Amino acid sequence: MGVPAVFKSDKDIRRVGNYTFEWTEDHIPRETTDPLRYTYDKLGAAAVDRIQEIHRRSAAAADGDAQHISRLDLLAVLEANHGTDAVLGQLWDEVHSVPAWVDWAQLERGQRFLYRYALANLMGFALQGFVGENSASQGVVEVLVRTGGFSTRVLLRRLLETFQLLLQVTHSRGFLEPGGEGHRSAVRVRLLHSMVRQRILKIVEARGAEYFDVATLGVPLNTLDSLHALTTFGCNHAFIQLPLMGITARPAEVEDYVALWRYVGYLLGTPTEHFASAARAKVLMDSLSYHERGLTDSSLVCGHNFVETVRDLEPINLSAGFIEAGSRVLNGDALCDDLGMKRPGLYHYACFRGYCWFVKTLAAAQQWFPRLDAKIIDFNRDMLHSAIIHSKAGLAGGSKLKFKHVPDGTLTGKESSAVKRVILWKHPKVAPQTAPAQIHSLLLGPLSRRLIRPLIAIVPRDGCDVGSDVALALPEVKGNSLHPTSRSSYLHLNWEEEPSKKLYLTKIKTGPGSKSARLG
C-alpha cells in the first residue's frame, strides 16, 4: 500500500550518519566537486620547491653538513629568503596581506566560540571530525596511512599538533594577525602539506598507482581535501556535533566562527568564497559530507588506531566503550559497524548521554549568565593552551610542524596501543631517592588489560625527565620475588615501545605510600 499523498513531501531529505539535511538547488553536485581533486595550492608547491633548492645550495656550501629535510624549518627558510626570491616573496606577500573582507572584531568573537563550548567541541572534533570525516573520506585517509601519522606510536602527538593549530588560531587577535603564533602555524601547515604532496607524488613516479592512485583519488592534499578539512574545522561543530549533543549555538556566533575559518583557509591557500556566509558554508559541508563518504581498508586502520591511541589515556581515562558509544551517537551505527567498532553496552551509552547532558546544561547556563560565560571562556583558553601546547606532557612549548612523518612507500597498518600518557598537567623532574645507577625493581607496561612485564631499571642520579631513555635489564626471579631489589623503593612506569625496542619514561611512582609524580 502506498503512502497517502497528504503525507508525502517534495523535500529531498538526505542522511549522512545521524545527520540529516535537505538537499536544495544550492547544493553542489558531484560533477562540480570531483574536478577539484586534480587542483591544488600551486603557489605553496612552488614555494616548497624553492625552499628545497635553497636548502640544497646551503648543504653544498657546507660540504653536505646540513640538516636533514625532515628537521628543516620551512617557515624559517621562507622568512630568511622572501626578500631575495621571487616565489617566496609572492607567498610571503599573500599571507601577510589581509583581505578586505576580514572584520577583526568578528574574528575575535568567532575565536571565543571554540572555548565557549570547549568540552563539547573537543569531544565532537575527536569523535566526529577524526572518526566520521577523516577515517571515512577516501582521499584524506589514503594520505594519512602513507605519512605514518596514524601509527599508534606517533598518533597522539599528531593529534596534539592538530589541536595546537586549532588553539592558536582561536587564541586572540594578536595570535591571528600577521606574525602571530596562529598565523605562523597556519603558514607552516600550508608548506607542510605541499611537502607531503610532493613526496607522495615522487614515490608514485617510481612505483605507480599501486602506491597511490592519482587517477581515482586525485592529487594528494588537493583542493577538494582542503575544502573538506576546512568545513570539518569551521562548520561541523555548529551544524553537526553540537546539535547531536543537544546544544544549539546562536546564529550570530556561527557566522563569526565561519568567518574566522574563512581567513584561516585563506592563509592555508584554500578557496574561500564558499565561506562568505554560514549558510553557504553549510551547503558546502553538506555536499562534501554526502559525496565524500566512502570507506577503504585504510579507513579501518585509522579508525582502529585512533581508538587504540585515545582509550584509557590519563588523566581522563575514556574507555573504549565510551569512545565507541560517542562515535555511534555522532556518526551513526552503519559507519561505526563498517569501521569495525564494537557495539558498547547501555552503561557506556548512559555515560556518553550523561556527558551530553552536562555540556548542554553548562552551555545553557553560559547563555543565561554572560559573566559566567566570560570566565569559562578564559579558563578553557588558558587551561587548554597550558596542557596541550606548553606542558611537558603535551608539546613542551609547541611544535614547529616539521616534516617528521616522511612518506617512504610503506603503509600504516592496524596497531595495538603503544603508549598511554598523561596529557593535562606538568610536574617537575623526579629524582630517585638512592645512589646513582642503583637498580630498582619496576613494573612496566601500558595502561591496558595486558600482563605487566617485570623488568629492572637503572636510574640516573639527577633524576628522569619524560622521554628519557631508561636502561633496562631482566631481573633475577626466585619464585615470585624480584632480586636484587628493595621492597621499600621502586618505580612504576608506563612505557612506549618503539621499533628500536627502546623504552621511554612516561610516569613515575616512587616508594610505597609516597605521592605519584605524573609526567607526560
- Do 199 and 107 belong to one domain? yes
The answer to whether the beta carbons of residues 196 and 143 sit under 8 Å apart is yes
**pLDDT tens-digit profile of 169-227?**
999 999 999 999 999 999 999 999 999 999 999 999 999 988 899 999 999 999 999 99
Q: Tell me the sheet residues that pair with 137.
A: 293
Q: Is residue 58 part of a domain?
A: no
Give the number of other Cβ atoms within 10 Å of residue 499's Cβ: 6
**pLDDT tens-digit profile of 337-382?**
988 899 999 999 999 999 999 999 999 999 999 999 999 999 999 9
Q: Tell me the sheet residues that pair with 458.
A: 439, 471
* pLDDT (0 to 100) of residue 145: 82
Residue 397 makes CB contacts below 8 A (sequence gap 6+) with: 389, 390
Where is 345: in which H helix or E strand? none
* pLDDT (0 to 100) of residue 159: 86
- Do 464 and 381 belong to one domain? no
Structural domain of residue 119, as residue ranges?
93-390
Q: Is 178 helix (H, G, I), strand (E, B) or coil?
A: coil
Give the number of other Cβ atoms within 10 Å of residue 55's Cβ: 17
- Do 450 and 384 belong to one domain? no
Q: Is residue 397 part of a domain?
A: no
- Do 205 and 121 belong to one domain? yes
Q: Is residue 204 part of a domain?
A: yes
Q: Is residue 17 part of a domain?
A: no
- Do 167 and 304 belong to one domain? yes
* Nearest alpha-carbon partner for 426 in 388, 381, 382, 463: 388
- Do 182 and 259 belong to one domain? yes
- Do 145 and 273 belong to one domain? yes
Total structural domains within the chain: 2
Q: Is residue 489 part of a domain?
A: yes
Q: Is residue 27 part of a domain?
A: no
- Do 356 and 447 belong to one domain? no
* pLDDT (0 to 100) of residue 246: 97
* pLDDT (0 to 100) of residue 92: 98
Place of cell 601519522: 149
Can you give the three-state secondary structure of 241-262, one letter per residue?
HHHHCCCCCCHHHHHHHHHHHH
- Do 382 and 447 belong to one domain? no
- Per-residue exposure over 198-215, b if at least 16 CB sit within 10 Å of its own CB, e if not: bbbeebbeeeeeebbebe
Residue 188 makes CB contacts below 8 A (sequence gap 6+) with: 74, 75, 400, 401
Rounded Cα–Cα distance for residues 355 and 361 (Å): 10
Q: Is residue 400 part of a domain?
A: no
Rounded Cα–Cα distance for residues 263 and 161 (Å): 20
The answer to whether the beta carbons of residues 72 and 222 sit under 8 Å apart is no
* pLDDT (0 to 100) of residue 67: 52
Among the candidates 359, 390, 421, a domain finishes at 390
- Do 370 and 471 belong to one domain? no
State if pTM tops 0.75. yes
Among the candidates 390, 410, 428, a domain finishes at 390
Among the candidates 373, 390, 407, a domain finishes at 390
**pLDDT < 70 positions in the chain:** 1-9, 62-71, 149-150, 314-315, 402-520
Q: Is residue 11 part of a domain?
A: no
* pLDDT (0 to 100) of residue 448: 29
- Do 373 and 452 belong to one domain? no
* pLDDT (0 to 100) of residue 493: 36
Distance of CA 424 to the CA centre of its chain: 16
- Do 233 and 321 belong to one domain? yes
